[in-house]
């Protein structure tokens, strides 16, 4: 499946929008030490052909910081990101894999690599949204960075945290506590007179009413993280809804793994299936599954509300072969 990609196309109307906006979202590239940059460049060649106004990279852009430890790998990946910036303004969210290092014994530790992301942010038309926003005359994007200790319970909580020390991965109380701490940002990077979207890597707890309440006022939530639930193409087409086969946390049949969901306040979240399904730092036993699981990108056409659709959104899909 190195050359097969599924393109999900969503058309949705937004009230008071003055003109059509096309956004392409890409998640979970998981660029690693073994991955060829040619694979990612094929994806961006297609993105260029689809003529987006904005490109959103939704996190887990690299698998671990080992992937950018050599000069060549670092330069190759940076050049690919620069290519994205030449296509359209590229908004880059960060997630746990973007900020972790894998030791020789398999142990994982936090490794933020601010120098690399600062270098990316300094490039033309590239914007790293690490709890920051991007705004122009039409749009306002906010990139919310979920903390590392949210994804992995083994990481220590902040000293002033009230959350349980016996929590599990992706604990909702941990998320709510962090969102409360950053609540001013959810208002700061939201402009009622423009199209507003938030890059929010993991969709797992978006249906919790406390989480959803912080996201009121955003037109769309863009998430990834779930790798399409590792659903093989046949099951992906036959089984409707949002359920997946297995989650990155190794949970069987996760309920929120793919497709589109709505929060309890009505905000639509579009879950991107990701480029890499089984990343390099995962158990090698599962690596061969990548040969059976295609890549995914999302194309979102946001339309003025006067071009009224009969539904809240229309979604279609097409498989493409990348040369």
Average pLDDT, the chain: 93
Q: Residue 254 above 80 pLDDT?
A: yes
Nearest to 247 by CA among 271, 268, 270: 271
Place of tokens 């939704």: 58
Q: What is the mean pLDDT of residues 237-246?
A: 93
Q: Residue 307 above 60 pLDDT?
A: no
φ, ψ for residue 268, nearest 5 deg: -85, 135
- Contacts by 287-294 with C-beta closer than 8 Å and gap 24+? 289/230, 290/1, 291/1, 292/1, 292/232, 292/233, 293/1, 293/227, 293/228, 293/230, 293/231, 293/232, 293/233, 294/1, 294/4, 294/5, 294/6, 294/233, 294/319
pTM of the model: 0.96
φ, ψ for residue 128, nearest 5 deg: -85, 115
Pairing mode, if any, of strands 108-110 and 54-57? unpaired
Domains and CATH numbers, the chain: 4-321 (3.60.21.10)
pLDDT digits 0-9 by tens, 30-70: 999 889 999 999 999 999 999 999 999 999 999 999 999 99
- 291 contact partners, CB below 8 Å, separation of at least 6: 1
Q: Which two tokens stand for residue 232?
A: 């093989």
Helix-helix angle 37-49:71-87, to 10 degrees: 0
Q: Residue 106 above 80 pLDDT?
A: no
Place of tokens 């030791």: 103
């Amino acid at each position: 499946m190195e050359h097969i990609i599924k393109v999900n196309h969503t058309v949705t109307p937004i009230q008071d929008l003055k003109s059509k906006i096309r956004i392409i979202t890409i998640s979970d590239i998981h660029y690693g030490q073994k991955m060829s940059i040619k694979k990612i460049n094929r994806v961006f060649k297609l993105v260029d052909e689809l003529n987006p106004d904005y490109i959103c990279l939704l996190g887990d852009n690299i698998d671990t910081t080992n992937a950018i430890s050599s000069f060549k790998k670092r330069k190759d990946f940076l050049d690919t990101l620069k290519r994205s910036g030449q296509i359209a303004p590229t908004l880059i969210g960060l997630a746990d894999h973007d900020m972790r290092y894998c030791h020789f014994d398999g142990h994982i530790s936090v490794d933020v690599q601010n120098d690399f992301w600062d270098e990316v942010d300094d490039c033309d038309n590239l914007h790293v949204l690490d709890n920051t926003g991007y705004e122009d005359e039409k749009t306002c994007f906010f990139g919310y960075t979920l903390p590392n200790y949210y994804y992995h319970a083994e990481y220590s909580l902040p000293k002033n945290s009230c959350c349980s020390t016996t929590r599990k991965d992706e604990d909702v109380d941990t998320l709510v506590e962090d969102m409360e701490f950053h609540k001013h940002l959810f208002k700061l990077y939201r402009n009622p007179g423009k199209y507003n979207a938030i890059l929010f890597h993991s969709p797992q707890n978006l249906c919790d009413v406390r989480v959803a309440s912080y996201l009121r006022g955003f037109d769309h939530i863009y998430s990834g993280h779930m790798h399409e639930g590792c659903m093989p193409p046949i099951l992906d087409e036959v089984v409707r809804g949002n359920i997946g086969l297995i989650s990155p946390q190794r949970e069987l049949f996760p309920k929120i793994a793919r497709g589109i969901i709505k929060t309890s306040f009505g905000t639509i979240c579009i879950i991107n299936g990701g480029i890499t399904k089984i990343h390099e730092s995962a158990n090698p036993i599962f690596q061969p599954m990548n040969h059976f699981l295609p890549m995914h990108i999302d194309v979102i056409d946001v339309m003025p509300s006067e071009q009224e659709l009969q539904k809240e959104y229309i979604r279609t899909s097409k498989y493409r072969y990348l040369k």
